[in-house]
Protein backbone atom coordinates (compact mmCIF):
# COMPACT_ATOMS: atom_id res chain seq x y z
CA UNK A 1 0.00 0.00 0.00
CA UNK A 2 2.87 2.36 0.82
CA UNK A 3 4.44 1.70 -2.56
CA UNK A 4 1.24 2.72 -4.39
CA UNK A 5 0.98 5.91 -2.33
CA UNK A 6 4.58 6.91 -3.11
CA UNK A 7 4.14 6.38 -6.84
CA UNK A 8 0.90 8.36 -6.87
CA UNK A 9 2.53 11.21 -4.95
CA UNK A 10 5.46 11.36 -7.40
CA UNK A 11 3.03 11.46 -10.33
CA UNK A 12 1.13 14.37 -8.78
CA UNK A 13 4.38 16.31 -8.25
CA UNK A 14 5.43 15.68 -11.84
CA UNK A 15 2.04 16.86 -13.12
CA UNK A 16 2.22 20.02 -11.03
CA UNK A 17 5.72 20.82 -12.30
CA UNK A 18 4.71 20.33 -15.93
CA UNK A 19 1.51 22.34 -15.64
CA UNK A 20 3.29 25.32 -14.05
CA UNK A 21 6.09 25.51 -16.65
CA UNK A 22 5.69 28.40 -19.14
CA UNK A 23 4.68 27.45 -22.67
CA UNK A 24 7.39 27.74 -25.31
CA UNK A 25 4.77 29.23 -27.62
CA UNK A 26 4.27 32.27 -25.39
CA UNK A 27 7.74 33.48 -24.32
CA UNK A 28 8.16 35.93 -21.47
CA UNK A 29 8.25 39.41 -23.04
CA UNK A 30 9.30 41.24 -19.88
CA UNK A 31 11.94 43.77 -20.90
CA UNK A 32 11.73 42.80 -24.58
CA UNK A 33 11.68 45.86 -26.88
CA UNK A 34 12.12 44.29 -30.30
CA UNK A 35 11.84 41.14 -32.37
CA UNK A 36 14.85 40.38 -34.58
CA UNK A 37 15.06 38.98 -38.09
CA UNK A 38 18.08 37.73 -40.00
CA UNK A 39 18.22 35.56 -43.11
CA UNK A 40 20.20 32.85 -41.30
CA UNK A 41 17.76 32.83 -38.37
CA UNK A 42 15.02 30.30 -37.66
CA UNK A 43 11.28 30.90 -37.47
CA UNK A 44 11.18 28.36 -34.61
CA UNK A 45 13.27 30.73 -32.49
CA UNK A 46 11.65 33.08 -29.96
CA UNK A 47 12.97 36.00 -32.05
CA UNK A 48 13.48 38.27 -29.03
CA UNK A 49 17.27 38.60 -29.23
CA UNK A 50 19.96 39.03 -31.87
CA UNK A 51 21.35 35.57 -31.20
CA UNK A 52 17.95 33.88 -31.63
CA UNK A 53 16.34 35.80 -34.51
CA UNK A 54 13.49 34.81 -36.78
CA UNK A 55 14.38 33.88 -40.34
CA UNK A 56 11.56 35.77 -42.12
CA UNK A 57 9.97 39.16 -41.74
CA UNK A 58 6.60 37.50 -42.29
CA UNK A 59 7.02 35.51 -39.07
CA UNK A 60 8.13 38.57 -37.12
CA UNK A 61 5.13 40.56 -38.35
CA UNK A 62 2.74 37.74 -37.45
CA UNK A 63 4.09 37.63 -33.90
CA UNK A 64 4.29 41.42 -33.47
CA UNK A 65 0.66 41.86 -34.49
CA UNK A 66 -0.40 39.48 -31.73
CA UNK A 67 1.80 40.79 -28.87
CA UNK A 68 2.68 44.04 -27.15
CA UNK A 69 6.09 44.27 -28.86
CA UNK A 70 5.59 46.23 -32.10
CA UNK A 71 9.21 46.83 -33.12
CA UNK A 72 11.04 44.56 -35.58
CA UNK A 73 14.79 44.93 -36.13
CA UNK A 74 16.14 43.64 -39.44
CA UNK A 75 19.79 42.59 -39.64
CA UNK A 76 21.20 42.21 -43.15
CA UNK A 77 19.27 41.50 -46.35
CA UNK A 78 15.89 39.75 -46.43
CA UNK A 79 14.63 38.39 -49.76
CA UNK A 80 10.88 37.78 -49.52
CA UNK A 81 7.35 39.11 -49.97
CA UNK A 82 5.70 40.23 -46.72
CA UNK A 83 2.04 41.03 -46.11
CA UNK A 84 1.19 43.20 -43.11
CA UNK A 85 -2.53 43.07 -42.46
CA UNK A 86 -4.27 44.24 -39.32
CA UNK A 87 -7.87 44.03 -38.18
CA UNK A 88 -7.67 47.38 -36.34
CA UNK A 89 -8.36 50.52 -38.37
CA UNK A 90 -5.22 52.72 -38.60
CA UNK A 91 -5.52 55.96 -36.61
CA UNK A 92 -4.07 58.31 -39.23
CA UNK A 93 -6.40 57.10 -41.96
CA UNK A 94 -9.28 57.78 -39.60
CA UNK A 95 -8.26 61.43 -39.23
CA UNK A 96 -7.84 62.21 -42.91
CA UNK A 97 -10.24 65.06 -43.45
CA UNK A 98 -11.35 65.93 -46.93
CA UNK A 99 -14.65 66.24 -48.76
CA UNK A 100 -15.43 63.22 -50.89
CA UNK A 101 -18.08 62.05 -53.29
CA UNK A 102 -18.98 58.45 -53.97
CA UNK A 103 -19.61 57.34 -57.52
CA UNK A 104 -21.01 54.05 -58.74
CA UNK A 105 -18.73 52.60 -61.41
CA UNK A 106 -19.72 49.17 -62.71
CA UNK A 107 -21.52 48.37 -59.48
CA UNK A 108 -18.56 49.38 -57.31
CA UNK A 109 -18.29 52.48 -55.13
CA UNK A 110 -15.41 54.75 -56.10
CA UNK A 111 -14.41 57.58 -53.73
CA UNK A 112 -13.27 60.86 -55.25
CA UNK A 113 -12.25 64.22 -53.82
CA UNK A 114 -15.11 66.68 -54.21
CA UNK A 115 -13.64 69.86 -55.67
CA UNK A 116 -16.92 71.75 -55.35
CA UNK A 117 -16.14 72.10 -51.63
CA UNK A 118 -13.74 74.80 -50.34
CA UNK A 119 -11.23 72.48 -48.63
CA UNK A 120 -8.87 69.89 -50.03
CA UNK A 121 -7.32 66.86 -48.41
CA UNK A 122 -5.38 67.31 -45.20
CA UNK A 123 -4.59 65.38 -42.06
CA UNK A 124 -6.23 66.74 -38.94
CA UNK A 125 -4.10 67.41 -35.90
CA UNK A 126 -0.51 66.30 -35.58
CA UNK A 127 1.33 64.28 -38.20
CA UNK A 128 2.71 62.38 -35.19
CA UNK A 129 -0.70 61.10 -34.10
CA UNK A 130 0.26 58.05 -31.98
CA UNK A 131 -0.98 54.68 -33.13
CA UNK A 132 -0.50 51.91 -30.53
CA UNK A 133 -0.84 49.30 -33.27
CA UNK A 134 1.91 50.76 -35.46
CA UNK A 135 4.51 48.23 -36.58
CA UNK A 136 8.02 49.70 -36.70
CA UNK A 137 10.39 47.89 -39.05
CA UNK A 138 13.90 49.20 -38.63
CA UNK A 139 17.51 48.38 -39.19
CA UNK A 140 20.18 48.93 -36.55
CA UNK A 141 21.10 52.64 -36.65
CA UNK A 142 24.50 53.11 -38.25
CA UNK A 143 24.77 49.48 -39.35
CA UNK A 144 27.13 48.77 -42.25
CA UNK A 145 28.34 45.85 -44.33
CA UNK A 146 26.42 42.61 -43.86
CA UNK A 147 24.35 44.10 -41.04
CA UNK A 148 22.88 46.95 -43.12
CA UNK A 149 19.12 46.37 -43.33
CA UNK A 150 17.75 45.77 -46.85
CA UNK A 151 14.41 44.38 -48.00
CA UNK A 152 14.36 42.98 -51.51
CA UNK A 153 12.56 40.40 -53.63
CA UNK A 154 14.13 38.17 -56.24
CA UNK A 155 11.72 35.27 -55.70
CA UNK A 156 8.24 36.68 -56.30
CA UNK A 157 6.96 39.14 -58.96
CA UNK A 158 4.37 40.89 -56.79
CA UNK A 159 5.62 43.11 -53.94
CA UNK A 160 8.29 43.45 -51.31
CA UNK A 161 5.76 44.82 -48.80
CA UNK A 162 1.96 44.69 -48.99
CA UNK A 163 0.31 46.82 -46.28
CA UNK A 164 -3.43 46.37 -45.75
CA UNK A 165 -5.42 48.09 -43.00
CA UNK A 166 -2.26 48.54 -40.95
CA UNK A 167 0.09 51.31 -39.85
CA UNK A 168 3.73 50.63 -40.71
CA UNK A 169 6.77 52.81 -40.07
CA UNK A 170 10.11 52.13 -41.80
CA UNK A 171 13.40 53.47 -40.43
CA UNK A 172 17.11 52.82 -41.13
CA UNK A 173 16.26 50.43 -43.95
CA UNK A 174 16.42 50.20 -47.75
CA UNK A 175 13.79 48.78 -50.06
CA UNK A 176 15.92 48.03 -53.09
CA UNK A 177 17.03 45.65 -55.82
CA UNK A 178 13.53 44.64 -56.98
CA UNK A 179 13.38 43.90 -60.70
CA UNK A 180 10.09 42.79 -62.24
CA UNK A 181 8.51 42.61 -65.68
CA UNK A 182 5.06 42.14 -64.13
CA UNK A 183 3.10 45.36 -64.74
CA UNK A 184 1.24 44.86 -61.45
CA UNK A 185 4.40 44.70 -59.35
CA UNK A 186 5.22 47.36 -56.77
CA UNK A 187 8.02 47.60 -54.22
CA UNK A 188 5.51 48.71 -51.58
CA UNK A 189 1.74 48.59 -52.01
CA UNK A 190 -0.50 50.29 -49.41
CA UNK A 191 -4.25 49.66 -49.40
CA UNK A 192 -6.50 51.25 -46.76
CA UNK A 193 -3.47 51.71 -44.55
CA UNK A 194 -0.73 54.07 -43.40
CA UNK A 195 2.94 54.03 -44.40
CA UNK A 196 5.47 56.28 -42.68
CA UNK A 197 8.92 56.53 -44.23
CA UNK A 198 11.08 57.86 -41.41
CA UNK A 199 14.74 58.48 -40.61
CA UNK A 200 17.05 56.46 -42.83
CA UNK A 201 14.25 54.91 -44.92
CA UNK A 202 14.93 54.65 -48.67
CA UNK A 203 12.99 53.13 -51.54
CA UNK A 204 15.78 53.10 -54.07
CA UNK A 205 17.34 51.47 -57.12
CA UNK A 206 14.40 49.31 -58.17
CA UNK A 207 13.27 48.51 -61.71
CA UNK A 208 9.59 48.92 -60.91
CA UNK A 209 7.20 51.43 -59.27
CA UNK A 210 8.48 52.44 -55.82
CA UNK A 211 5.28 52.93 -53.79
CA UNK A 212 1.62 52.61 -54.75
CA UNK A 213 -0.92 54.06 -52.32
CA UNK A 214 -4.64 53.54 -52.89
CA UNK A 215 -8.05 53.14 -51.27
CA UNK A 216 -7.95 56.21 -48.99
CA UNK A 217 -4.52 55.39 -47.62
CA UNK A 218 -1.89 57.75 -46.20
CA UNK A 219 1.85 57.96 -46.82
CA UNK A 220 3.98 60.33 -44.75
CA UNK A 221 7.64 60.94 -45.59
CA UNK A 222 9.74 62.57 -42.90
CA UNK A 223 13.22 63.00 -41.47
CA UNK A 224 15.19 62.90 -44.74
CA UNK A 225 13.51 59.76 -46.11
CA UNK A 226 13.72 59.33 -49.86
CA UNK A 227 12.27 57.57 -52.90
CA UNK A 228 15.11 57.64 -55.40
CA UNK A 229 16.70 56.26 -58.55
CA UNK A 230 13.90 53.87 -59.45
CA UNK A 231 13.11 53.21 -63.12
CA UNK A 232 9.94 52.01 -64.83
CA UNK A 233 7.72 52.68 -67.83
CA UNK A 234 5.25 54.89 -65.98
CA UNK A 235 4.33 56.47 -62.61
CA UNK A 236 7.71 55.47 -61.31
CA UNK A 237 8.36 56.99 -57.87
CA UNK A 238 5.08 57.20 -55.93
CA UNK A 239 1.62 56.48 -57.32
CA UNK A 240 -1.35 58.01 -55.41
CA UNK A 241 -4.83 56.70 -56.23
CA UNK A 242 -8.47 56.68 -55.09
CA UNK A 243 -8.62 59.24 -52.32
CA UNK A 244 -5.12 58.72 -50.93
CA UNK A 245 -2.99 61.44 -49.32
CA UNK A 246 0.78 61.90 -49.33
CA UNK A 247 2.56 64.33 -47.01
CA UNK A 248 6.25 65.17 -47.52
CA UNK A 249 8.02 66.83 -44.56
CA UNK A 250 11.45 67.43 -43.03
CA UNK A 251 13.87 67.52 -46.00
CA UNK A 252 12.40 64.42 -47.62
CA UNK A 253 13.06 63.85 -51.31
CA UNK A 254 11.67 62.09 -54.36
CA UNK A 255 14.62 62.27 -56.71
CA UNK A 256 16.37 60.71 -59.67
CA UNK A 257 13.48 58.46 -60.72
CA UNK A 258 12.99 57.76 -64.44
CA UNK A 259 9.83 56.94 -66.38
CA UNK A 260 10.96 55.61 -69.76
CA UNK A 261 8.70 53.74 -72.18
CA UNK A 262 9.35 54.42 -75.86
CA UNK A 263 8.33 58.06 -75.54
CA UNK A 264 5.21 57.28 -73.47
CA UNK A 265 6.58 57.27 -69.94
CA UNK A 266 4.65 59.52 -67.54
CA UNK A 267 5.31 60.84 -64.01
CA UNK A 268 8.93 60.23 -63.14
CA UNK A 269 8.46 61.39 -59.54
CA UNK A 270 4.80 61.30 -58.43
CA UNK A 271 1.57 60.31 -60.20
CA UNK A 272 -1.70 61.51 -58.67
CA UNK A 273 -5.09 60.13 -59.64
CA UNK A 274 -7.94 61.04 -57.30
CA UNK A 275 -5.47 61.87 -54.55
CA UNK A 276 -3.59 64.71 -52.87
CA UNK A 277 0.11 65.54 -52.51
CA UNK A 278 1.06 67.94 -49.71
CA UNK A 279 4.65 69.24 -49.58
CA UNK A 280 5.92 71.06 -46.49
CA UNK A 281 9.22 71.99 -44.87
CA UNK A 282 12.11 71.61 -47.28
CA UNK A 283 10.58 68.69 -49.13
CA UNK A 284 11.85 68.33 -52.71
CA UNK A 285 10.88 66.57 -55.93
CA UNK A 286 14.08 66.84 -57.93
CA UNK A 287 15.92 65.51 -60.97
CA UNK A 288 13.25 63.03 -62.00
CA UNK A 289 12.48 62.45 -65.68
CA UNK A 290 9.78 61.14 -68.00
CA UNK A 291 10.10 60.64 -71.75
CA UNK A 292 6.51 61.87 -72.19
CA UNK A 293 4.73 64.06 -69.60
CA UNK A 294 5.39 65.20 -66.03
CA UNK A 295 9.03 64.74 -65.17
CA UNK A 296 8.37 65.67 -61.54
CA UNK A 297 4.61 65.21 -61.06
CA UNK A 298 1.51 64.38 -63.07
CA UNK A 299 -1.87 65.27 -61.57
CA UNK A 300 -4.37 63.32 -63.61
CA UNK A 301 -7.99 64.46 -63.94
CA UNK A 302 -9.68 67.18 -61.92
CA UNK A 303 -9.25 65.49 -58.56
CA UNK A 304 -5.49 65.23 -58.58
CA UNK A 305 -4.38 67.92 -56.10
CA UNK A 306 -0.92 69.36 -55.31
CA UNK A 307 -0.39 71.76 -52.40
CA UNK A 308 3.04 73.30 -51.72
CA UNK A 309 3.92 75.17 -48.51
CA UNK A 310 6.97 76.61 -46.73
CA UNK A 311 10.12 76.05 -48.81
CA UNK A 312 8.90 73.00 -50.70
CA UNK A 313 10.65 72.76 -54.07
CA UNK A 314 10.13 71.06 -57.43
CA UNK A 315 13.34 71.44 -59.42
CA UNK A 316 15.61 69.93 -62.04
CA UNK A 317 12.98 67.61 -63.53
CA UNK A 318 12.66 66.93 -67.28
CA UNK A 319 9.97 65.73 -69.71
CA UNK A 320 8.52 66.24 -73.17
CA UNK A 321 5.77 68.42 -71.67
CA UNK A 322 5.40 69.63 -68.10
CA UNK A 323 9.00 69.29 -67.00
CA UNK A 324 8.12 70.10 -63.40
CA UNK A 325 4.38 69.35 -63.36
CA UNK A 326 1.87 68.18 -65.96
CA UNK A 327 -1.42 69.37 -64.52
CA UNK A 328 -4.96 68.26 -65.24
CA UNK A 329 -6.06 68.85 -61.65
CA UNK A 330 -5.30 71.53 -59.06
CA UNK A 331 -1.99 73.15 -58.02
CA UNK A 332 -1.66 75.61 -55.15
CA UNK A 333 1.65 77.27 -54.21
CA UNK A 334 1.90 79.08 -50.87
CA UNK A 335 4.61 80.75 -48.79
CA UNK A 336 8.04 80.60 -50.47
CA UNK A 337 7.51 77.31 -52.28
CA UNK A 338 9.39 77.03 -55.59
CA UNK A 339 9.12 75.48 -59.03
CA UNK A 340 12.43 76.27 -60.70
CA UNK A 341 15.00 74.99 -63.21
CA UNK A 342 12.79 72.31 -64.74
CA UNK A 343 12.96 71.57 -68.48
CA UNK A 344 10.52 70.43 -71.17
CA UNK A 345 11.71 69.60 -74.67
CA UNK A 346 8.43 70.87 -76.15
CA UNK A 347 6.20 72.89 -73.79
CA UNK A 348 5.69 73.88 -70.20
CA UNK A 349 9.11 73.71 -68.59
CA UNK A 350 7.72 74.48 -65.13
CA UNK A 351 3.99 73.74 -65.18
CA UNK A 352 1.91 72.69 -68.16
CA UNK A 353 -1.86 72.63 -67.74
CA UNK A 354 -4.23 70.68 -69.91
CA UNK A 355 -8.03 70.36 -69.82
CA UNK A 356 -10.84 72.56 -68.56
CA UNK A 357 -10.48 71.45 -64.96
CA UNK A 358 -6.80 72.33 -64.59
CA UNK A 359 -6.31 75.23 -62.17
CA UNK A 360 -3.29 76.95 -60.67
CA UNK A 361 -3.08 79.35 -57.72
CA UNK A 362 0.26 80.96 -56.82
CA UNK A 363 0.84 83.27 -53.88
CA UNK A 364 2.93 86.37 -54.61
CA UNK A 365 5.70 85.03 -52.38
CA UNK A 366 5.92 81.68 -54.21
CA UNK A 367 8.49 81.34 -57.00
CA UNK A 368 7.92 80.05 -60.54
CA UNK A 369 11.03 80.95 -62.50
CA UNK A 370 14.05 79.88 -64.57
CA UNK A 371 12.31 76.90 -66.17
CA UNK A 372 13.04 76.08 -69.82
CA UNK A 373 11.00 74.99 -72.86
CA UNK A 374 10.58 76.07 -76.53
CA UNK A 375 6.99 77.03 -75.64
CA UNK A 376 5.79 78.30 -72.27
CA UNK A 377 9.11 78.09 -70.40
CA UNK A 378 7.49 78.57 -66.97
CA UNK A 379 3.79 77.86 -67.57
CA UNK A 380 0.93 78.13 -70.06
CA UNK A 381 -1.41 79.43 -67.34
CA UNK A 382 -2.29 83.10 -67.35
CA UNK A 383 -1.45 83.83 -63.72
CA UNK A 384 -3.15 86.97 -62.45
CA UNK A 385 -1.58 89.19 -59.84
The verdict on residue 196 lying in a domain is yes
Q: What is the pLDDT of residue 140?
A: 95
- Has residue 6 been placed in a domain? no
User: What domain count does the chain have?
Assistant: 1
Q: What is the pLDDT of residues 131-156, one digit of tens each?
A: 889 999 999 999 999 999 999 999 87
Query: Do the domain assignments include residue 19?
Result: no
Q: What is the 3 state secondary structure string of the chain?
A: CHHHHHHHHHHHHHHHHHHHCCCCCCCCCCCCCCEEEECCCCCCCCCCCCCCCECCHHHHHHHHHHCCCCEEEEECEEECCEEEECCCCCHHHHCEECCEEEEEECCEEEEEECCCCCCCCEECCCCCCCCCCCEEEEECCCCCHHHCCEEECCCCCCEEEEEECCEEEEECEEEECCECCCCCCEEEEEECCEEEECCCEEEECCECCCEEEECCCEEEECCCCEEECCEECCCCCEEEEEEEEEEECCCCEEECCEECCCCCCCCCCEEEEEEEEEECCCCEEECCEECCECCCEEEEEEEEEEEECCCCEEECCEEEECCCEEECCEEEECCCCEEECCEEEEECCCEEECCCCCEEEECCCCEEECCECCECCCECCCCCC
Does the residue 164 lie in any domain? yes
pLDDT surpasses 80 at 103: no
Owning domain of residue 251: 76-369
Residue 3 forms part of a structural domain: no
More confident site: 305 or 115: 305
Does some domain include residue 54? no
Encode pLDDT of 288-324 as tens digits: 999 999 999 999 977 889 999 999 999 999 999 999 9
Amino acid sequence: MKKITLVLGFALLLFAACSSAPSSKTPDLTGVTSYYVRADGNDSNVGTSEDKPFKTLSKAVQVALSTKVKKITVIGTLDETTTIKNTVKPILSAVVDYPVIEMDVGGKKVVSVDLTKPAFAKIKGSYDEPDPNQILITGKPGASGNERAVLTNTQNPDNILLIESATVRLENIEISGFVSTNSRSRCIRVSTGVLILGQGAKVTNNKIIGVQVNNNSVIIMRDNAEVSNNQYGGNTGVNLETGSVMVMLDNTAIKGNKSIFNGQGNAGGVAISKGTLIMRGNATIANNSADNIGGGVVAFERDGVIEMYDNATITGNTALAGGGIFLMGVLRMYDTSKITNNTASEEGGGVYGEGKDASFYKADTAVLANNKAPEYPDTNFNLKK
